[in-house]
């Protein structure tokens, strides 16, 4: 889609007047003197999320242990109920999504079940640009099966250090690959991979495929069930605004419900019999089977309010604005910042990018620090990327215009030279 934009502040304000989601921003806690462009790392708190969190706190205060069955939304079934709320965001059936644990723990749980090395088919295929935690986990899973990662981990390299070619990934789906694990969106460049194509190609070759969707769920619609994705996992503290370290999610295609999780725990037991306390494990016949331990109620509660907001608005409308506002940001970068050496590192096509723009510059560390002192919350990624996420729910077009104007001023007046080239411990 070719969108037509104009330079100037008045045009940005006009875009905001036409924005069907403009009022949603008022449901978030936003500092008046700050423009928050880091929602792809940690989303802001909404009043909706605060409400459900405080309700659960009050339930704990007044009900104690009786909250497990007598709360407004009984805690015992809370992961399943939240899974039903989140299923529309990823195109899943209600029992295919469960809210549980943390991203990497969920990855371990899923891979331990789905990676079944047998004969020649004993390798895992990954990419060179994935988030490091996924790589650590996969190497650990190989070691648990007495397999040397140097021999049994196949890594597809990126030609440009930013993006991946799906055809090259498919080209390495040989008969020695048992499992493929890929990100939905690359965390640095923001490239959105073709999940449907990759899933279809993997299945043609008898290969199980799963996706890390931390940088897409809540910003990009998915259709996991329709595409036949075997499994997926993601955090909820980025675009889904569940709070720092908020409980993560698991998707398992219903065709795998007969499989028994290898990393079994009591919360993956059939709910009706969970308190029988039998030593014979009976796996739940849904995605809940991959739960291990008791629900983290206070880390899940904000997600209830957030997901209700998402379902009220609709993920398709959120994606529509996300694509338009990132396109507008790239337009301003091209016309206002390219003369200062900035490069856009993410794909430009709508179908190939997620929810953030990767702004590259050799002085990215210092520019990033200067931006923070001017009231912008950006996100630096080594070695030269400033990630800017104009989250559709709480960033306006005028916010984007101001961000680019501030960066231009920082460059024109060489303000960045007042800062150290050494990045902070938390980038």
227 belongs to an annotated ligand binding site? no
Work out the pLDDT band at 275, boundaries 50, 70, 90: very high
pLDDT at 2: 86
| Mean pLDDT (whole number) for 99-116 | 98
**Given 313, 329, 353, which residue is the final one in a domain?**
313
Sheet order of strands, 231-234 included: 97-99, 249-252, 231-234, 208-212, 177-183, 123-127, 153-156
Query: Looking at the predicted structure, is the pLDDT value of residue 426 above 80?
Result: no
Q: Is 237 annotated as a binding residue?
A: yes
Contact yes or no for 356/388 (Cβ under 8 A)? yes
> Is the four-CA dihedral 250, 254, 256, 262 of positive or negative sign?
positive
Task: Report the mean per-residue pLDDT for the chain.
Answer: 97
224 and 328 part of one domain: no
Instruction: Please state the rounded mean pLDDT for residues 398-420.
Output: 96
CA dist., res. 346 & res. 270, Å (int): 44
| Mean pLDDT for the stretch of residues 278-301 | 96
Within this chain, do residues 263 and 327 fall inside the same structural domain, yes or no? no
| 277 and 227 both lie in a single domain | yes
Strand partners, 212: 183, 233
Domain shared by 329 and 375, yes or no? yes
Q: Is 281 annotated as a binding residue?
A: no
Range of the domain at 117: 50-313
Question: Is 134 among the annotated ligand-binding positions?
Answer: yes
Do 283 and 369 have their domain in common? no
The larger pLDDT score, comparing residue 396 to residue 2, is at 396
* Cα torsion angle, 15, 18, 24, 25, sign: positive
Domain presence at residue 145: yes
CATH assignment at residue 389 = 3.90.1150.10
The domain total for the chain is 2
Domain co-membership, 103 together with 247: yes
DSSP 3-state of 204: helix
User: Cα–Cα distance between 134 and 131 in angstroms, integer?
Assistant: 6
Three-state SS at 199: helix
Average pLDDT over residues 315-336: 98
Has 266 been labeled as part of a binding site? yes
Q: Give the DSSP H or E segment for 126.
A: strand 123-127
pLDDT value, residue 422: 80
Q: Both 19 and 55 in a single domain? A: no
Q: Are residues 223 and 341 in the same domain?
A: no
- pLDDT tens-digit map of 192-202: 999 999 999 99
113 assigned to a ligand binding site: no
pLDDT at 107: 98
Distance between start and end Cα atoms, the chain:
34
Mean pLDDT for the stretch of residues 360-377: 97
Give the CA count within 13 Å in the CB-facing half-sphere of 128: 12
> In angstroms, rounded to a whole number, what is the distance separating the alpha carbons of residues 261 and 284?
10
Among all chains, which residue has been given the structure tokens 């050799």?
Answer: 362
Q: What is the pLDDT of residues 40-53, one digit of tens each?
A: 999 999 999 999 99
Other residues' Cβ atoms within 10 Å of the Cβ of residue 153: 17
Q: Is 132 part of any known ligand binding site?
A: yes
Is residue 340 annotated as involved in ligand binding? no
Decide if pLDDT at 425 tops 90: no
Average pLDDT over residues 348-371: 97
Tell me whether residue 177 is in a domain: yes
Q: Tell whether residue 231 is among the known ligand binding residues.
A: no
pLDDT band, residue 159 (cuts 50/70/90): very high
Residue 208, pLDDT score: 98
pLDDT at res. 427: 63
| Residue 420, pLDDT score | 87
- Position 3 in a domain: no
Q: Inform me whether the pLDDT recorded for 424 exceeds 80.
A: no
> Of 313, 331, 349, which residue constitutes the final position of a domain?
313
Domain shared by 139 and 241, yes or no: yes
- Reported as a single tens digit per residue, the pLDDT across 51-102 is 999 999 999 999 999 999 999 999 999 999 999 999 999 999 999 999 999 9
- In the three-class reduction of DSSP (H, G, I as helix; E, B as strand; rest coil), residue 187 is classed as coil
H-run or E-run covering 156: strand 153-156
Given 313, 330, 357, which residue is the final one in a domain?
313
133 among the known binding-site residues? yes
């Amino acid at each position: 889609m070719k969108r037509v934009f104009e330079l100037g502040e008045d045009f940005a304000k006009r875009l905001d007047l036409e924005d069907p989601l403009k009022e949603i921003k008022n449901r978030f806690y936003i500092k008046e003197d700050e423009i928050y462009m880091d929602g792809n790392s940690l989303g802001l708190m909404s009043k909706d999320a605060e409400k459900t969190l405080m309700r659960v706190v009050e339930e704990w205060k007044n009900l104690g242990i009786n909250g497990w069955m007598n709360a407004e939304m009984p805690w015992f079934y809370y992961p399943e109920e939240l899974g039903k709320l989140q299923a529309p965001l990823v195109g899943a059936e209600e029992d295919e999504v469960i809210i549980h644990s943390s991203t990497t723990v969920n990855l371990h749980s899923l891979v331990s079940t789905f990676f079944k090395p047998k004969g020649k088919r004993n390798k895992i295929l990954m990419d060179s640009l994935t988030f490091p935690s996924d790589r650590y986990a996969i190497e650990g899973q190989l070691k648990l099966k007495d397999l040397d990662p140097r021999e049994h981990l196949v890594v597809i390299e990126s030609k440009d250090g930013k993006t991946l070619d799906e055809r090259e990934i498919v080209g390495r789906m040989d008969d020695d690959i048992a499992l493929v694990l890929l990100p939905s969106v690359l965390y640095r460049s923001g490239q959105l991979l073709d999940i449907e194509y990759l899933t279809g190609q993997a299945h043609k070759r008898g290969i199980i495929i799963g996706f890390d969707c931390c940088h897409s769920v809540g910003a990009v619609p998915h259709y996991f069930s329709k595409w036949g994705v075997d499994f997926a996992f993601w955090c909820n503290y980025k675009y889904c605004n569940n709070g720092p370290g908020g409980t993560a999610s698991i998707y398992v295609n219903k065709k795998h419900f007969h499989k028994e999780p290898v990393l079994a725990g009591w919360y993956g037991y059939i709910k009706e019999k969970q308190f029988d306390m039998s030593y014979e494990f009976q796996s739940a016949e849904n995605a809940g089977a991959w739960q291990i331990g008791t629900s983290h109620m206070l880390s899940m509660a904000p997600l209830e309010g957030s997901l209700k907001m998402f379902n009220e608005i609709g993920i398709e409308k959120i994606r529509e604005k996300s694509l338009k506002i990132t396109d507008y940001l790239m337009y301003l970068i091209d016309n206002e910042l390219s003369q200062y050496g900035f490069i856009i590192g993410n794909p430009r096509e709508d179908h190939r990018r997620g929810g953030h723009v990767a702004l590259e510059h050799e002085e990215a560390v210092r520019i990033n620090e200067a931006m923070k002192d001017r009231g912008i919350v950006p996100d630096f990624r080594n070695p030269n990327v400033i990630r800017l996420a104009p989250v559709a729910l709480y960033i306006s077009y005028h916010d984007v215009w101001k961000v680019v104007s501030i960066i231009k001023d920082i460059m024109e007046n060489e303000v960045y030279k007042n800062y150290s080239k050494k990045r902070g411990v938390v980038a």
